[in-house]
Amino acid sequence: MTRVIVIGNGMVGYKFCEKLVAASSKGDFQLTVFGEEPWPAYDRVHLSSYFTGSDVDALSLAPRSWYEENGIDLRTNELIVSIDRKLKQVLSHTGKVMAYDKLILATGSGAFVPPIGGVEKKGVFVYRTIEDLDAIMAFGKKARSAAIIGGGLLGLEAAKATMDMGLNTHVIEFAPRLMPRQLDAAGAAVLKSRLEELGIAIHLNKNTRKIHGNGKLTGLEFADGADLSVDMLVISAGIKPRDELAKTCGLPTAARGGIIVNQNLQSEADDNIFAIGEVASCQNMIYGLVAPGYEMASQVVNQLCGKTSRPFLGFDMSTKLKLIGVDVASFGDPFGESAPSRTIVYENKRSGIYKRINISPDGKRLLGGVLVGDAQAYGMLLQMTQNSMPLPPNPEDLILGSRGGKESGGAGLEGLPAEAQICSCENVTKGDICKLIENEGLSHVEEIKSCSKAGTGCGGCVPMVNDLLKMQLKTLGRQVKNNLCEHFPYTRQELLDLVKVREIKTFDQLIDQFGQGDGCEICKPAVASILASTWNELIIRQDTIQDTNDRYLANIQRGGTYSVVPRIPGGEITPDKLIVIGQVAKKYGLYTKVTGGQRIDMFGARVDQLPDIWEELIVAGFESGHAYGKSLRTVKSCVGSTWCRYGVQDAVSFGIRVEERYRGLRSPHKLKGAVSGCIRECAEAQSKDFGLIATEKGWNLYVCGNGGSKPQHARLLINDVDSETVLKYIDRFLMFYIRTAEPLNRTATWLNKLEGGIDYLREVVVNDSLGIAETLEREMEFMIQTYACEWKEVVNNPQLRAKFKHFVNDDEGDPSIAFQEMRGQKIPASW
Amino acid sequence: MSAKLEKNQTTANSQPTTWFKAAPVSALPENGGACIKYKDLQIAVYNFSRRNEWYACQNLCPHKMQMALSRGMIGSQGDEPKVACPFHKKTFSLKSGKNLNGDTCDIATYPIKVEDGYVYIGFEE
Ligand code: SRM
Ligand SMILES: Cc1cc2nc3c(=O)[nH]c(=O)nc-3n(C[C@H](O)[C@H](O)[C@H](O)COP(=O)(O)OP(=O)(O)OC[C@H]3O[C@@H](n4cnc5c(N)ncnc54)[C@H](O)[C@@H]3O)c2cc1C
Ligand code: SF4
Ligand code: FES
């Protein structure tokens, strides 16, 4: 058994383990991995997403159990401090000594911190690990402004992060332009103005000389004498390979850092030692990207397993910047310097788009280029460059796109050779993916990702994998199939049809007849929604298939209490009802807040208090607001013609009518509506699933908009229709959506996937091209007629009421609930 | 935080010395869970009526220390019975207590039996 030790459990170190496990049989190797960080290897490329989720697990490349199951001894939180090459053993900071036959150095790199006076001050950070981000987040809470030193790839990502934290953000770049390694001057200028529009201040040609502050930084001083006062600094000025171990044991390192290795990634000084990833210096190059690191890992695995392995001869450094809100990509030879070339440039200053391609003098091959503002073509252009594909007769079409007429549509995917590398991180070719689709019957991007690993690295190729999947399925004449989960081999739409046709009323009937196993947290709520949208029966009769919120008819909060949101249709409320809300909140000690949906939320109720609270609200004339359900939430209104000097229709009255029409309607995701009294649009109807804007003649109906994390404007479905007609169209539209959408797809997402888009939708809803309008209206009429307030039923039914208890064997409430105070109200104790 | 966690210790694989008479079967929902109080412990009890099996585990979700698992949805992954925490949908095996979709630490599980219409949970005192 060969003893292999890997130092460094980062992205490349992990990839090495994964590949070695896959390529060898149990017993060939005894693998030990040392990682300095406290957690198993995680996805550093998507580190910035930690800002939104703060979930280490979500970034993890594999759980600890994976290492265990594969017989790998993973030792996190353990730093290797020296290597004894004579005895072939390593020493960790805990004093542990361990011997190896082969040693893999995958120690990556750290942030390069330039020698500026004052870098040790409080408030100065680097951007490399989860711990760095924790520190930045904690400090950022108290800061108002931040500067980033370095206007490269990572610096800009850090800038976006501090901007999202609400800080005034400055980027300081030494060079005369942003991303000097990837962009030319014109492209960088466009990027600069786009970032300035986003609110990021850019300072070029700035050499930071000193960091001011007494213990904690207060500002920066530049070589040109200028000053900038900031509360926080993130240094992102490049990387520095962690070659310190190699140095102390006498392995040759490069002048600019990095362990010198040959084409086999082996140190010339010791052929039992390999270096891979960002710490390896190969032909005097350090590769600061994952794809080349992964390629190195696989080369070394092949050598250890005695398989043929290609020598490592450099790697393409094309990149696409993610996350920043502006598309930026650079591929092949971006500057056209490596060979004689001709350059074609397209620039639109108004819309902030810059595209450049460099082609060979004979106009036959693409050598590289730069894209700013619109990088949609990146995947395809990169492929053309790497595969020397023939160019169209007018190469400018590549960046100008289809001028006039319909989109040229995926131009070139078919033309790609089978050996074209689609995913460079995992080295997966077009041929590999097509074979999986054809031979293994894969029909889902997630399946392709897990079988081939394509798209699991930097994720840049996922759109292309998606297109490839669609293309291949079409060629094979197969349909794209989205099975709900392991328990049902059907799509949501198929299950809905089965429920209707077979008159299935319960989850158990459905899983007995058409499914397998016991169900799960994915299929249960989806089926619950289908049953509710079809039969409209009281949902808590089958309470255990509902998501928690629907099970207790209230939204669960941090700490395990619930919120209470009565319906306030159209946002209109009488003073008397306002008083009742105040009295109830006071009596039960609830926190109150006006919501973003024009109503009032009362937070902090224990589960056993919910029925009592609702009883009092119902007596006062309130009903459930369904804030907990995947169902209609609110229909926002503006005062409209009753009070407003511009209003042309009575938006409040109509808003109330619409809200009461669809209240309680269950759907694949939540639904929101709005009614504005005139074109000034104070009710924001164009950001709702369905929105009405009053005109002199009636209403304009907009559909499929939403706010949330991916805001999308609603699209005009029809204009100037009267009140009765517009309700008819909304009936049809909502029912068509309920019938055909996948679980948890809002209307906007659904529309984006609907072939034919808004034009097709208009055909179906307005022109009844499918001949189903009458059925849809009838189904909606049934839902409207059978509506009943769920809370009213619970309050009046002792059996249902009994479900609202914390302990089944004790009347006490949950003793672990704890609150603290804030601005005179209570909030949950922090978690 | 760890003090909260250490309260619950798995006894599923050992010989319980005490069988606590928790509640009548009728008090527990079918194919779902509820919470039982035993001294200062909170135990989640699940009735898998479809497979005629019962499981018990700690009510505390180790992810964000929420007393919530009894309110989670139950189901299966392959043959493994599991529960999904209502807060962030971490799922745990009710046999091994292992977190099935992440790296959160194991939950404690308890032996459980039904006799004469009553549910009993086993503890090691
Ligand atoms: C209370 C409220 C915030 C507030 O204090 O104002 C709120 C609170 C929550 N929102 Fe919201 N949203 C509230 C208005 C909004 C709005 C504004 C609006 O409706 O005009 C939006 C953007 C508009 C939109 O939805 O298109 C909004 C977009 C979201 C989203 C993102 C939806 C998306 O499609 O991307 C979620 C997440 C989800 O539903 O998956 C969400 C989810 C939630 C949840 C349910 C999260 C959860 O599961 O616990 C919060 C529960 C609150 C509770 O426990 O009661 N909330 N949420 C607002 C309640 C409105 C109401 O009266 O019902
Ligand atoms: C914010 C950010 C965004 C990025 N975006 C992209 C991108 O879009 N595309 C792209 O291709 N690349 C990107 N990268 C770069 C990419 O993350 C790295 O190329 C990749 O992580 C390199 O992997 P590695 O294993 O060589 O090094 P690392 O992932 O740094 O892993 C090295 C590990 O070894 C540990 N270690 C070091 N010394 C020792 C020791 N003596 N004992 C024990 N453990 C030790 C370190 O703590 C570390 O955990 C990004 C990087 C960052 C920080
Ligand atoms: S949209 Fe604005 S201006 Fe028009 S009626 Fe409403 S409040 Fe008045
Ligand atoms: S608290 Fe249970 S999953 Fe987060």
Q: Supply angle C-alpha A544, A546, A551, rounded to 5.
A: 75
Chain segment A4-30, per-residue pLDDT in tens: 999 999 999 999 999 999 999 888 999
Confidence (pLDDT) at A412? 64
Residue A405: band (very low, low, confident or very high) from pLDDT cuts 50, 70, 90:
very low
Chain segment A485-501, per-residue pLDDT in tens: 889 988 888 899 889 88
Q: Are residues A187 and A223 in the same domain?
A: yes
Whether the per-residue pLDDT at A207 is higher than 60: the answer is yes
Note whether residue B100 is domain-resident.
yes
C-beta separation of A454 from A433 below 8 A: yes
Cα A506 to the center of its chain, rounded Å: 34
Q: Quick check: CB of A677 below 6 Å from ligand 3?
A: yes
Chain segment A757-782, per-residue pLDDT in tens: 899 999 999 999 888 999 999 999 99
Q: Considering every ligand atom, which ligand is closest to the CA of B101?
A: 4
Cβ contact (<8 Å) for B30 and A544? Answer: yes
Confidence (pLDDT) at A478? 72
Q: How far is B18 from chain A (nearest CA, A)?
A: 17
Whether the per-residue pLDDT at A404 is higher than 70: the answer is no
Note whether residue B1 is domain-resident.
no
Q: Are residues A234 and A222 in the same domain?
A: yes
Confidence (pLDDT) at A403? 47
Q: Are residues A82 and A98 in the same domain?
A: yes
Note whether residue A813 is domain-resident.
no
Cβ contact (<8 Å) for A548 and B72? Answer: yes
Compute the distance from residue A787 Cα to the ligand 1 centre, in Å: 23
Q: How many domains does chain B have?
A: 1
Q: Quick check: CB of B87 below 6 Å from ligand 4?
A: yes
* Mutate: best of B73, B112, B119, B121, partner A, most A CBs <10 A: B73
Count of residues for chain B?
A: 125
Chain segment A264-322, per-residue pLDDT in tens: 999 999 999 999 999 999 999 999 989 899 999 999 999 999 988 888 888 877 888 76
Q: Are residues A75 and A134 in the same domain?
A: no
Q: Are residues A541 and A567 in the same domain?
A: no
Note whether residue A318 is domain-resident.
no
Last residue of a domain, one of A217, A240, A263: A240
Global ipTM: 0.73
Cβ contact (<8 Å) for B75 and A812? Answer: no
Nearest CB to A809; choose among B37, B73, B91: B37
Q: Supply angle C-alpha A405, A407, A410, rounded to 5.
A: 155
**Exposed, middle or buried: residue B93 (CB in 10 Å: 0-12, 13-18, 19+)?**
buried
C-beta separation of A430 from A415 below 8 A: no
Q: How many domains does chain A have?
A: 6
Q: Which two tokens stand for residue A83?
A: 């290597």
Q: Are residues A680 and A648 in the same domain?
A: yes
- State if pTM tops 0.90: no
A423 annotated as ligand-binding: no
User: Other CB atoms closer than 10 Å to residue B56's CB: what's the count?
Assistant: 27
C-beta separation of A32 from A62 below 8 A: no
CA distances from A178 to A46, A175, A372 (A): 21, 7, 12
Q: What amino acid occupies position A298?
A: S
Q: Considering every ligand atom, which ligand is closest to the CA of A54?
A: 4
Percent of chain B at pLDDT > 70 equals 91
Q: Is A559 on the interface with B (CB under 8 A)?
A: yes
DSSP codes of every residue in A358-382: EE-TTS--EEEEEEES--TTHHHHH
Measured by CA distance, the residue closest to atom 2 of ligand 2 is A45
First to last CA, chain B: 23
Note whether residue B60 is domain-resident.
yes
Compute the distance from residue A581 Cα to the ligand 3 centre, in Å: 28
Cβ contact (<8 Å) for B75 and A559? Answer: no
Note whether residue A737 is domain-resident.
yes
Q: Is A76 on the interface with B (CB under 8 A)?
A: no
Residues of B in contact with A560 (CB under 8 A): 66-68
Percent of chain A at pLDDT > 70 equals 97
Chain segment A732-743, per-residue pLDDT in tens: 999 999 989 988
Cβ contact (<8 Å) for A807 and B35? Answer: yes
DSSP code for A489: S
Chain segment B4-61, per-residue pLDDT in tens: 666 777 665 567 788 999 999 999 999 999 999 999 899 999 999 988 999 999 999 9
Cβ contact (<8 Å) for B103 and A806? Answer: no
Confidence (pLDDT) at A347? 86
Average pLDDT of the segment spanning A786-802? 94
How high is the mean pLDDT of chain A? 91
A520 annotated as ligand-binding: no
Of A385, A425, B68, A443, nearest to A433 by C-alpha is: A443
Note whether residue B13 is domain-resident.
no
Q: What is the domain range of residue B53?
A: 18-123
CA distances from A537 to A497, A670, A789 (A): 17, 18, 11
Mutate to test the pocket of ligand 4, among B5, B85, B105 (most ligand atoms within 8 A of CB): B85
Q: Quick check: CB of A593 below 6 Å from ligand 1?
A: yes
Residues β-bridged to residue A369: A331, A357
DSSP code for A741: P
Q: Is A552 on the interface with B (CB under 8 A)?
A: yes
Residues β-bridged to residue B60: B67
Chain segment A707-726, per-residue pLDDT in tens: 987 889 999 999 999 999 99
Identify the contact set of chain B against chain A, taking CB-CB distances under 8 A. 22-23, 27-37, 42, 45, 48, 50-51, 64-68, 71-78, 81-82, 84, 86-89, 91, 98-99, 102-104
Q: Which two tokens stand for residue A757?
A: 């888009």
User: Other CB atoms closer than 10 Å to residue A105's CB: what's the count?
Assistant: 28
Of A726, A740, A794, A747, nearest to A533 by C-alpha is: A740
C-beta separation of A432 from A399 below 8 A: no
Helices vs strands, H then E, count in chain B: 1, 12
Q: How far is B9 from chain A (nearest CA, A)?
A: 18
Chain segment A149-201, per-residue pLDDT in tens: 999 989 999 999 999 888 999 999 999 999 998 899 999 999 999 999 888 99
Note whether residue A48 is domain-resident.
yes
Average pLDDT of the segment spanning A751-755? 86
Note whether residue B23 is domain-resident.
yes
Average pLDDT of the segment spanning A107-124? 94
Q: What is the CATH number of the domain that holds A16?
A: 3.50.50.60
Average pLDDT of the segment spanning A232-239? 94
Chain segment B74-116, per-residue pLDDT in tens: 999 989 999 999 998 999 999 999 999 877 889 999 999 999 9
Cβ contact (<8 Å) for B66 and A559? Answer: yes
Q: What is the CATH number of the domain that holds B85?
A: 2.102.10.10
Q: Are residues A665 and A778 in the same domain?
A: yes
Confidence (pLDDT) at A624? 97
Q: Supply angle C-alpha A725, A670, A708, rounded to 5.
A: 110
Q: Are residues A580 and A661 in the same domain?
A: no
Last residue of a domain, one of A629, A656, A684: A629
Q: What is the domain range of residue A668?
A: 640-796
Chain segment A249-259, per-residue pLDDT in tens: 999 999 989 99
Where would I find the beta strands (DSSP E) of B26-111?
A: 32-38, 41-48, 53-58, 60-61, 66-67, 73-77, 80-84, 91-93, 109-110
Note whether residue B85 is domain-resident.
yes
Note whether residue B12 is domain-resident.
no
Whether the per-residue pLDDT at A407 is higher than 50: the answer is no
Q: Are residues A456 and A506 in the same domain?
A: no
Chain segment A553-607, per-residue pLDDT in tens: 999 999 899 999 999 999 999 999 999 999 999 999 999 999 999 999 999 999 9
